Amino acid sequence: MCGIVGYIGHGDKKQVLIDGLRELEYRGYDSAGIAMMDESGITHYKAVGKLINLENKASEYSSNSYGVGIGHTRWATHGKPNEVNAHPHLGEYSFVVHNGIIENYQELKKELQDEGVRFLSQTDTEVIVHLFEKFNNQLDNPFQAFEQTIAKLRGAYATLLITKKDPETIYFAKNGSPMIAGKDDHGSVYFGSSDAALIGKAKEVTYLTDGDYGFARSGTIHLFHAGESMVPAMVPLKSDKIYAQKEGFRFFMEKEIYEQSSVISDTMLGRVLDDEIHFDEIPDGLFDGIREIKVCACGTSYHAALASSYLFERLSQIRASVEIASEFRYKEPLLRTDTLFVVISQSGETADTLEALKMAKLAGIKTLALCNVDNSSIVREADATILLRAGIEKGVASTKAFATQMMVLWMLALYLAKDKMTAEKYRFDLEAMRLIPGLAKVNERIHEKVKRLSKRYLHGHGFFFIGRDIFYPLALEGALKLKEISYLHAEGYPSGEMKHGPIALADSELFTIALMPQTLLYDKTKSNIEELSARDSTICAISPKSFELADDMIRTSEQKHPMCEFFEMMVILQLLSMEVAVRRGNDVDMPRNLAKSVTVE
Ligand code: M6R
C-alpha cells in the first residue's frame, strides 16, 4: 500500500505535493519522492525513510510558474526500500508513480529488456514508464500511448504519469487501488489516494472507479472508461481530515475490517497462480532437510500460528509445533537443525518474537518471517521473509493483519503440500483460496444484524468463544478481540474441552459464542454446545445450519471448504467485538493499557 498525489496549477508545486503526501504517510513511509515540471524542465527528488527526509532534500526547490507535479510515499512490495526503488520512476522523458501491484510485470519487463530497455529499479512500477515511452515513440501521441500502456497491465494499480512530450498534462488510471481527482475554483487539478490529501485544496472531487483513466489539463479532467469519454461525477469535498483518513468509517478498525477483502487479494497477487502457489521470497534450499516447522509469535499472530499448525500437519504433512514467544524465550528449548523456525508478526518489532528469532538464529537453524512491515527488525533478522501486504494497520486490535497472516500460512502449507496431496485435493484448496476475497467482504446485512445483537452482550459474567480444529484458534482470536476493546472477560476454548471444567461456569449470564462450521466436525461441536445449552448458557451460534437451541443465530453461507467458513466467521467475530465496544462507549482504535507495537518484554 502506497500513497500517490498529483497537482496541476500555478501554486507551489513542491509544497502541494508534500502536504498531500503528509496526509498519506500512514499508507507507507519507507521512502518518498516527487517530480515537478514547469517551463524550466523536470526536477525530481527521492529519499529513503520518512517524508521529512524528502522535505529536507528538496528544501531549496520552489516553483510558482504553471506546471505539473506527482508524488509518492512508498510501502515496499517489490524491491527493497532504497532510493533507486523509490518513486517516481523515470524513463527517457517521463515520470510515473504507482500504487498497487502489476501482476504481470516480470513478463512485460522481459519483453522490454529483450528490446533493449534498461531498468534501474527492482520495482514492478518501472514497466509502466518504459511501456509508455515505447508506445509514444511509435505513435507520437501520449494519450494513445498511455491507453495502450494500461491495456497491457494486469493487477492492481492507481498510477499518474507526466511527460515532457505533453508538459502541462497528468495522465491517470485506476484499477483496484484507490484514486480521487479534484478541482478548485482557480483552475488547479489535484489527485490523491484518499480524500485526506486533497482537503483544504480541492473544492470538489470525483471518486474514480476501476477501469477509469484519462488525463487532466488546463483545469479540466478528461475521463474515459472502456474507450468511451465520460463526464466525471463531481461531489463537494468534506473538510475533516481524520474523517477522510478513515475514508468514511467510524474507526480505523472498522475501515481495516472492510479492507480485508482487497488486502487479501493483494496478498495473493503473483502468489496464487493458476495451478500452484509461488513465492518469489522463498530462497532455494530453504526447506531442504526440514522435518519440522516451529511457529512462534504473540497475541493475534500467535493465533494465526496455532491455526497454521493444523494446516501444516494436515496439508503439508510436516510436524508442526507452536510457541508463545514470551514462553519460548525462557524454557531452554531444544532446537534441532532439521526444524524451520517461523516467526509471525504484524509490526516486526515485537520484542519477545524478535528475541525468540535471535535465539533460533543463534542455534543455527533456518528462519522465516511472516511480517507486515518491510525493513522492520524481524525482517532484517530473519533468513527469509514473506511480506503480508496488509497495508498499514492503525487500529490496535489487529484485523487485516490476521487475515493476511492466515492467507499466507494457508498458501505456505499448500506450497509445501504440492507433492504430498492428490491433484484433486490440491485443486480443491486452490479453488477455495480464490473465493476468500469475496468471503472476507463485509456483508452489510450481517453487519446490521451484529450491530443489533450486540446490545444483548454488554453484561454477564463472561464469554466463551468455542470451536474445534482451526476454529479453536479462531475462537481464541474472537475472545482476544472482545477482551481488548470491550474490556469484558472472554475466553477462547476448544469446544470438546468445556466439559473438563469450564462448563461449571454455565448459567444464563455466561455467553457462549459457538463457531459451528458445517464442513468440519459439525456434529461433534453441536453436541458440545447442547451440553452448554442444557446448563442454561446463552448461546450465540455462528453457522450456516440452523440450530434450534441457539438464543441468537448469525447465519453464514453454505461453503464446501473449512477455510472458506473460517474467513467468513473471522469477519463476524471482528464486527461483534467492535459493536460491543462501541455500545460500551470505549475507544475502539486505542483501547486502554495497550500499544500497537509491543517493543518491551
Ligand atoms: O506486531 P505483532 O503481530 O508481533 O504483535 C503481536 C501482538 O502484540 C498483537 O497481535 C496484539 O495481540 C494485538 N493487539 C491483537 O489485536
Are both 23 and 166 inside the same structural domain?
A: yes
Which residues partner with 31 through β-bridges? 48, 74
Which residue, 407, 439, 471, sits at the end of a domain?
A: 439
- What is residue 75's predicted lDDT score, i.e. its pLDDT? 73
Q: From 346, 486, 590, 599, give the residue whose CB has the most ligand 1 atoms within 8 Å, as the site to mutate.
A: 346
Catalytic annotation, residues: 2, 596
CATH code for position 297: 3.40.50.10490
Integer angstrom CA distances of residue 17 from 21, 109, 128, 204, 213: 6, 29, 21, 18, 21
Q: Give the chain's count of helices (H) and strands (E).
A: 17, 25
Atom 11 of ligand 1: nearest residue by CA position: 299
CB of 591 closer than 6 A to ligand 1? no
CB distance 396 to ligand 1 below 6 Å: yes
pLDDT of residue 214: 98
Cα(398) to centroid(ligand 1), Å: 6
Torsion of CA 4, 177, 48, 30, to 10 degrees: 130
Shared domain for 254 and 389, answered yes or no, is yes
Nearest-atom number in ligand 1 for the CA of 396 is 14
Question: Measuring CA to CA, which residue among 576, 370, 566 is closest to residue 472?
Answer: 566
Regarding the beta carbon of 377 and ligand 1, being less than 6 Å apart is answered no
Q: Which residues pair with 368 in a beta bridge?
A: 342, 384
Query: Do 208 and 81 lie in a common domain?
Result: yes
Give the residue, out of 253, 257, 298, 596, with the most ligand 1 atoms within 8 A of its beta carbon, to mutate for a pocket test.
Answer: 298
Cα-to-centroid distance, 300 and ligand 1 (Å): 5
Decide: 598 in ligand 1 pocket, CB within 6 A: yes
Give the CATH number of the domain where residue 232 resides: 3.60.20.10
Residue where a domain terminates, one of 221, 245, 269: 245
How far is the centre of ligand 1, averaged over its atoms, from the C-alpha of 339 (Å)? 24
Say if residue 138 is in the same domain as residue 7: yes
For ligand 1, the distance from its centroid to the CA atom of residue 255, given in whole angstroms, is 18
Atom of ligand 1 nearest to the CA of 300: 10
Taking the centre of ligand 1 as the mean of its atom positions, its distance from the CA of residue 345, in whole angstroms, is: 7
Q: Which atom number of ligand 1 is nearest to the Cα of residue 399?
A: 16
pTM of this prediction exceeds 0.85? no
What's the CA gap between 429 and 453, in Å, rounded?
Answer: 33
In this structure, the answer to whether residues 413 and 454 fall within a common structural domain is: no
Does 163 share its domain with 274? no
Which of 416, 439, 462 is the last residue before a domain boundary?
Answer: 439
Which protein residue's CA is at the shortest distance from atom 8 of ligand 1?
299
* 101: β partners: 156
Would you say how long the chain is, in residues?
601
Index of the ligand 1 atom closest to the CA of residue 397:
16
Q: 267 and 188 in one domain?
A: no
Range of the domain at 404: 249-439
Ligand 1 pocket: which of 252, 303, 350 to mutate (most atoms <8 Å of CB)? 350
Cα–Cα dist 211/276, whole Å: 28
193-to-88, 99, 159, 504 alpha-carbon distances in Å: 15, 8, 10, 53
Q: Give dist(CA 478, CA 152) in Å, integer.
A: 43
Q: Residue 395: CB within 6 Å of ligand 1?
A: no
φ/ψ of residue 83, rounded to 5: -65, -40
Q: Residue 88: helix, strand or coil by DSSP? A: coil
CB neighbour class for 60 (10 Å; exposed up to 12, middle 13-18, buried from 19): exposed
Give the burial string for 74-113 (b: 16+ CB within 10 Å, else e): bbbbbbebeeebbbbbbbebbbbbbbbbbbebeebbeebe
User: All 3 cell numbers of residue 124?
Assistant: 514492478
| The one-letter amino acid at 172 | F
Tell me, in angstroms, the distance from the centre of ligand 1 to residue 365's CA: 25
Would you state the torsion angle of the CA atoms of residues 292, 298, 303, 307, taken in this order, to the nearest 10 degrees?
Answer: -10
Tell me, yes or no, whether 49 and 121 share the same domain: yes
Instruction: Give φ, ψ of 73 to 5 degrees.
Output: -120, 130
Q: Tell me, in angstroms, the distance from the centre of ligand 1 to residue 544's CA.
A: 30
Q: Are 224 and 318 part of one and the same domain?
A: no
Q: What is the mean pLDDT of each run of 10 residues along the chain (601 residues)?
A: 90 95 77 93 92 93 92 79 89 94 93 96 94 98 98 93 97 91 96 88 93 97 97 88 79 96 91 93 94 98 98 97 96 95 95 95 97 87 94 92 98 95 96 96 96 91 95 98 96 94 89 97 94 92 96 97 98 98 94 79 68
Q: 298: Cβ below 6 Å to ligand 1?
A: yes
Query: 538 CA to middle of ligand 1, Å?
Result: 30
- The edge-to-edge listing of strands for the beta sheet with 339-345 is 319-324, 292-297, 339-345, 366-371, 384-387
Q: Identify the DSSP state of 154.
A: -
Give the residue whose CA is nearest to atom 7 of ligand 1.
299
| d(CA 333, ligand 1 centre) in Å | 23
Q: Are 309 and 383 in a shared domain? A: yes
Report whether residue 478 contacts ligand 1, using a CB cutoff of 6 Å.
Answer: no
The reply to whether ligand 1 has any atom less than 6 angstroms from the CB of 299 is: yes
Residues 72 and 215 occupy one common structural domain = yes
Is the CB of 397 inside a 6 Å radius of any atom of ligand 1? yes
Give the integer Cα–Cα distance in Å for 128 and 292.
43
392 close to ligand 1 (CB < 6 Angstrom)? no
DSSP, collapsed to helix, strand or coil, labels residue 345 as: strand
Of 219, 215, 297, 299, give the one whose Cα is nearest residue 479: 299
Alpha-carbon dihedral angle through residues 247, 252, 254, 257, given to the nearest 10 degrees = 100
Atom of ligand 1 nearest to the CA of 347: 1
Out of 354, 378, 398, 476, give the residue to mutate to test ligand 1, the one with the largest number of ligand atoms within 8 Å of its CB. 398
CA of 400 from ligand 1 middle (Å) equals 12
What sign does the CA torsion over 371, 372, 374, 378 have? Answer: negative
The residue whose CB lies within 8 Å of the most ligand 1 atoms, and thus the one to mutate among 326, 347, 352, is 347
User: Looking at ligand 1, which atom is closest to the CA of residue 597?
Assistant: 1
pLDDT score for 111: 97
- Statement to judge: residues 377 and 452 lie in one domain: no
Q: Answer yes or no: is the C-beta of 301 below 6 A from any ligand 1 atom.
A: yes
| Grid coordinates given for 153 | 497491465
- Total number of domains constituting the chain: 3
